[in-house]
Structure formats: C-alpha cells, structure tokens
Structure 1
C-alpha cells in the first residue's frame, strides 16, 4: 500500500467563499481517481458570522485567537454549515464523502496550545492522527472531509489551523501511503510581487524560504502556511504544492513546489 499515492487537498481563502469556484473545484476533486482526503478552512466565513453576532475577531500572526464564544462560532461554521455543504456537493458529483471533525472517531487528537508569549485561547495543536480509522474509510472508498475542529479527549473542542491539520494528516498517513499535499487558495502560488498575480515563484527550498522571509515576500498568513509545508516534507510527505484551484488538474504547470 505504501506505493499507492494518497492525494490530500486543503482548500481555503476565496475558494471557500465563492460558491462557483468552490463547486468547480469540488467537481474536479471528485474526478480524482484513487484515495483522497479533503481538508477545509473557513476563517472568513467565521469572521463574518462573528461580526454579525457582535463578536470582534482577533488575529495574531495570521492565527485566530479563540475564546469560548468563538469556539462555538467556528464549530457551527466549520463542522456544520461549510462541512456539510461541501459533503453534499461531493455526493452530487458521485464522490462518497464523509464530513468529520477531529473528535469523530478520535481522528485528530490535540491539546490546548501552551501559553508562551501569546495566549491563543482554545486553539489546538495536534498530538496524533488516527491513521488506522482514516485508512478504514479510504479502503472502503470513502473520502474523508475534515474541518478545522479538533478535540482534547476531555470534552473540549479546539480550533486548529486547517493548514496544520492538512500537514499533520499528510504526515500521519505517510506511514501507509505516498502522500502528496496540495494547499489550494485564491492565488496561483507564492508570488514574487503581490501586485502581479502571475509572478509565481515556482520552486522554494529551505534556503530560498529564508531569503523570501528576510525580504518580506513571505509574510503574515503565508508564514504559518509555509511552515506547515516544510513540517510535512521533513516528516515524510512526498510532495507539497501551493496554488489555486487548478492544482486539482494534473495538466496545470503554474504553481509553487516546495522541497527541502
């Protein structure tokens, strides 16, 4: 089975917010043959709902600070509305999907992030992936669809960065498969010039990454995303790519590939 490729896609950004873009991606994702997993964010939708409820979202270094009220909001949005809309669209496209949080079947165990310099509240850091149960689903031709909610096995739900979940699932499943991790958002890849949407940096290794951070080209929310890319590569993931929804099309050539 280790020779079998497992395609893992994480979607976020405007791909989630634009129904046409999302449905187009899900149709293409459904057509991928072989085992696959989808992880989705939904931060912008959660921010909109929080604001509508009179809650003021707080972000630090591209990560959401999660108080008790925010845990409830993100669970409603991620594990509820968005997750089930995505699963329903996949079923429409004959992809037998199952929507999951980390608490379901104990798929993703996490702990509340230790407070160092910043208290992120009920933000979760992943401890373990239940590769056995996830593989049972894959072996039965079920496509897991994970939202960004985990748990600590003490009854506490935790808001966990979706990029981190994607990275950790890819690492966890790399014991059983050749895992390929794809981060999909609204841009074609990591850009040299944010004002030029075609200025894609096609390859980034560890040394290039340091240079881009020093130059301020990789900044803000892109910093934790790239960190998760290198975490996956360092722990056994075969390939990592960043790009727009066309990443799902194997003929697409314009995206960012990362390597050690």
Structure 2
C-alpha cells in the first residue's frame, strides 16, 4: 500500500501536476492520494478579498476562510485532480473527511494561537478504514482533500500532511504502508537556496537538532512532525521527495530524504 501526498508548487503548475498524476496512476494498486492546495486557496482568496494568515506553516481558518478552503480544496482542486487521473486511466474517487465519514476530527482548542476552524484528528481510530477497503475492493483510488468534519455538521480545515499521516497510520494496521510526501524540492535541504543540498536521511535525534538550528523551519515542520508520528505508529517507510521522483521509487531505490526513527 502506498499513500502519496502532493502539495507545494506542483499543484500550481499544470504541466508538472499532469506529469505527476500520470506517474501516480501507474503505481500498483491499492494506493491513495492526498492533496493540499494552500497557494491556490490564497490566490482565490485575494480575488474575493479574503486575506490569508499563516502561523508556523498552518493557516488560520476563520469562518470566511473555511468557506473558501471548502470550495477550493473539496471542489476545484479535488475534482481537477480526479478528472486528470481518470484521463490517465486511474479510476479515482474524490473525497473529503466528511464523505462516508472518512475522517472525524475536533476543532482545535484555542491556545497561544487561535487557529479558528482547524481540525485535529485524535488518532487512527477516527479513520473509517472499512470504507477505504471497500473502495479499494471496488477498484477505486481515493483522492482526499485536506478537509475533515466534526460529526456535528461542520467542516474543518486540516493540514494535508496530517491527513496523509493519519490515513497511512490507520491503514498500517492492515497493510505494509509506504508514505511518500511529494513536493517541488528534491527532498529536505540543508540550504533552501541550493536544490542539490538534499539531506538523505534524518532520524528523530537529528530532526530535533535541525529544528533547533533553524535548518528545518516553517511549513517543513508540520510535514516532518507528521512523518515521524506515522513512523512511530507503524508506517513502514516515509520518504520526502520531488514529485518527478515518484516513478523511480522502488523497494531498493529512492531519491530524496528517507526518515527513520533511529
């Protein structure tokens, strides 16, 4: 089982996204795709006069922003991705966390920062694995938008890296799961300005040091936090790589940054 998350600038570039989706469609089944869409939401929000506020790589979601991301993530981005996968021969099914009660979350408690209508998933017990297995058995490939629900009628904005992590963790109880985060860079970099400065392996201890030194910061922090959480809860392997590397990944070869606990 492979769970792939796509985000970053790839979603903003039609030709690059199309190449990635063709590669994803050729992966063996069962597989699952999670997508983000932050920059697209920000761009459309500007047109509508809705300002974006980010803290430590996470979006502050007030009521207006919740409407925006529900439309953009669950509608525009999700259905464009699904349509392109159909063209590539992959029978995809677009979902949010509310569909088929896939992902139940709770509104984040207000602390030092009020994230508004942001959703936190307590654990893999809040993932409807049975319905995913039914989709796999029907020959369908789920494509998940970064939206959850609270079981009380409200949608919640949830970080796409978190969605990928909790889905991979829930599926790890029944499958050998490889989790791959694909984005515009070749991996986690020593120097953000040098695309060739890929850190090939990161373990828990080196991750803490890299954060303390500021090598890893902003939006990379929630990505790696979720990656290590997945490893701690049974996911077999987590890789962070460039979107173009997906087609070349095998059990014996990878390009990018491999994460490991020790």
Common fold, TM-score beyond 0.5?
yes
Residue 168 in structure 1 maps to residue 169 in structure 2: no
Structure 1 unaligned residues grouped into runs of 5+: 1-5
2:260 aligned partner = 259
Tell me the secondary structure at the aligned position of residue 16 of structure 2. helix
Q: Whole-Å Cα distance in 2 between the matches of residues 140 and 198 of structure 1?
A: 42
Q: Whole-Å Cα distance in 2 between the matches of residues 13 and 209 of structure 1?
A: 21
Per-residue deviation, 1:254: 2.4
- Quick check: which one's strand share is greater? 1
Residue 66 in structure 1 maps to residue 61 in structure 2: yes
Q: Whole-Å Cα distance in 2 between the matches of residues 88 and 256 of structure 1?
A: 30
Tell me the secondary structure at the aligned position of residue 97 of structure 2. coil
Task: After superposition, give the CA deviation of every residue in 1:91-139 in whole Å (9 maximum; x if it has no partner).
Answer: 0011000000000000000010011111100000013110010111012
Q: Whole-Å Cα distance in 1 between the matches of residues 227 and 258 of structure 2?
A: 10
Residue 48 in structure 1 maps to residue 48 in structure 2: no
Root mean square deviation, CA, Å: 0.9
Task: Note if contact 1:182-1:247 (Cα within 8 Å) is conserved in structure 2.
Answer: no
Q: Whole-Å Cα distance in 2 between the matches of residues 247 and 163 of structure 1?
A: 18
1:184 aligned partner = 182
1:38 aligned partner = 33
Tell me the secondary structure at the aligned position of residue 108 of structure 1. coil
Structure 2 unaligned residues grouped into runs of 5+: none
Matches within 5 A, 1:93-112: 93-112=88-107
Tell me the secondary structure at the aligned position of residue 172 of structure 1. helix
Tell me the secondary structure at the aligned position of residue 178 of structure 1. coil
TM-score (norm 2): 0.95
Residue 204 in structure 1 maps to residue 202 in structure 2: yes
Per-residue deviation, 1:34: 1.9
Q: Whole-Å Cα distance in 2 between the matches of residues 59 and 195 of structure 1?
A: 22
Per-residue deviation, 1:15: 0.7
Task: After superposition, give the CA deviation of every residue in 1:48-69 in whole Å (9 maximum; x if it has no partner).
Answer: 1111111111111110000011
Equivalenced residues, count: 255
Task: Note if contact 1:200-1:254 (Cα within 8 Å) is conserved in structure 2.
Answer: no
Matches within 5 A, 1:1-260: 6-127=1-122, 128-251=126-249, 253-260=254-261
